[in-house]
């Protein structure tokens, strides 16, 4: 098989390439050049490209760089800024996976005649022997599982994608790299947004004109208790950095973009019985039936919680506002938790699971309280 491996310059994608070479595939490495601005982290630096190139040379395979910077700016960076300006909390890594790795890169790979693209994501692709349908399951290493950020993958994408390290623990990946003498064997993981320097998010957003000061309001009394530098500087559930001292701990419980207002309150005001989830995507391509029991995960390494999926009646749906409505018969579902849970920040991914199997997911909607 002729495989194009997305090499970020990290140990996971390095070992993914090595495993494919060992298996006898014809392997080519590619690193995506996504960001040309200042960055001290992530997978866009010159040193990361050099690490990927040298690993490819060690493995005896060709390596190329694809410049997708314009698309990255339009599909990831601009929506990131717009989301914060609208009072929601985006996940740029999810957007990058959706639009760059599993759209633009897959398209380019197919145009160049590759049979598949491989990545270093910790997730398992499993083929149903009876039906040939493809499923995504959590990685063997639960602590490194990345299925949450791949909730948008469907059958078409999975048919062209391999995840060689999903059956290995992170420790095993590093040990394999050490045995091969790969330069990335002990390289630290990047946990930050690749296009923002460490600690520079507010400056990044300010430079793009989306920070405007406004009031901080106590949701219990309605009193103005402080000011914020901009709604983009806070997110639902945040406690630290509010510069408000009122005895009992206060959390951000709501963001009102039109009024540029941040509402705070005690932790109990964060608890909600349900969340609306739109922009729905399903791994199997089929929507979940109303009443389906699932486990819901709302952060990359969050603890899944039991819930029920409820689909609103079709006559209550505006199919013009969300293209997912065309496929699902609804532009959103209501996720009802078995027990009240902390409110999920609008804009964040809500993923649905059946045990280790990823069913799909969507984006938490803005609902003022």
Rounded-to-integer distance, Cα 139 and Cα 146, Å: 7
93 is catalytic: no
E strands present in 54-179: 63-67, 116-118, 123-127, 134-138, 161-162
Rounded-to-integer distance, Cα 327 and Cα 216, Å: 40
- Strand order of the sheet with strand 224-228? 224-228, 214-218, 261-265, 251-256
3-class DSSP assignment, residue 269: helix
Closest CA to 186 of 174, 169, 202: 174
Q: Helices marked H in 251-331 — which ranges?
A: 324-328
Q: In the numeric block, which tokens belong to residue 349?
A: 């991914």
Q: What is the DSSP string of 322-347?
A: -THHHHHSSSEEEEEEEEEEEPPPTT
Rounded-to-integer distance, Cα 311 and Cα 317, Å: 10
User: Tell me, what DSSP letter sits at residue 189?
Assistant: P
Distances (CA, A) of 41 to 9, 129, 291, 366: 12, 41, 43, 30
Q: How many C-beta atoms surround the C-beta of residue 63 within 10 A?
A: 19
Rounded-to-integer distance, Cα 42 and Cα 119, Å: 16
Q: Which residues pair with 350 in a beta bridge?
A: 362
Which listed residue (43, 44, 93, 96) is catalytic? 96
Rounded-to-integer distance, Cα 180 and Cα 37, Å: 34
E strands present in the chain: 2-6, 26-33, 63-67, 116-118, 123-127, 134-138, 161-162, 214-218, 224-228, 251-256, 261-265, 271-282, 293-297, 305-310, 332-342, 349-354, 357-364
44 is catalytic: no
Please give the positions annotated as active site. 96, 194
């Amino acid at each position: 098989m002729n495989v194009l491996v997305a090499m970020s310059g990290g140990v996971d994608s390095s070992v993914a390439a090595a495993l494919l070479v060992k298996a006898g595939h014809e392997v080519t490495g590619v690193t995506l050049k996504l960001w040309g601005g200042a960055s001290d982290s992530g997978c866009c630096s010159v040193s990361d490209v050099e690490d990927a190139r040298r690993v490819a040379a060690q493995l005896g395979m060709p390596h190329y760089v694809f410049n997708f910077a314009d698309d990255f700016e339009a599909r990831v960076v601009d929506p990131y800024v717009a989301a914060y300006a609208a009072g929601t909390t985006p996940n740029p890594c999810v957007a990058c996976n959706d639009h760059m790795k599993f759209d633009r890169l897959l398209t380019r790979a197919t145009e160049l005649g590759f049979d598949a693209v491989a990545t270093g994501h910790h997730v398992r692709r499993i083929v149903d022997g009876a039906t040939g349908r493809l499923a995504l399951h959590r990685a063997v290493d639960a602590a490194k599982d990345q299925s949450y950020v791949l909730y948008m993958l469907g059958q078409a994408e999975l048919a062209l994608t391999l995840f060689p390290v999903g059956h290995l623990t992170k420790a095993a990946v590093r040990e394999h790299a050490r045995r091969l003498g790969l330069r990335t064997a002990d390289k630290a993981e990047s946990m930050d947004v690749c296009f923002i320097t460490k600690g520079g998010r507010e400056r990044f957003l300010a430079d793009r004109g989306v920070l405007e000061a406004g009031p901080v309001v106590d949701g219990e009394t309605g009193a103005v208790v402080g000011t914020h530098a901009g709604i983009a500087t806070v997110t639902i559930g945040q406690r630290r950095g509010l510069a408000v001292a009122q005895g009992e701990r206060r959390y951000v419980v709501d963001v009102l973009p039109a009024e540029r207002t941040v509402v705070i309150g005690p932790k109990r005001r964060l608890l909600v019985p349900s969340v609306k989830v739109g922009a729905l995507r399903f791994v199997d391509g089929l929507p979940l039936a109303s009443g389906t029991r699932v486990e819901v995960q709302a952060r990359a390494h969050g603890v899944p919680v039991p819930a029920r999926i409820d689909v609103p009646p079709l006559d209550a749906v505006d199919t013009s506002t969300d293209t997912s409505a065309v496929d699902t018969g609804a532009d959103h579902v209501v996720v009802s938790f078995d027990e009240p849970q902390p409110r999920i920040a609008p804009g964040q991914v809500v993923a649905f699971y059946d045990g280790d199997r990823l069913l799909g997911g969507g984006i938490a909607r803005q609902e003022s309280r």
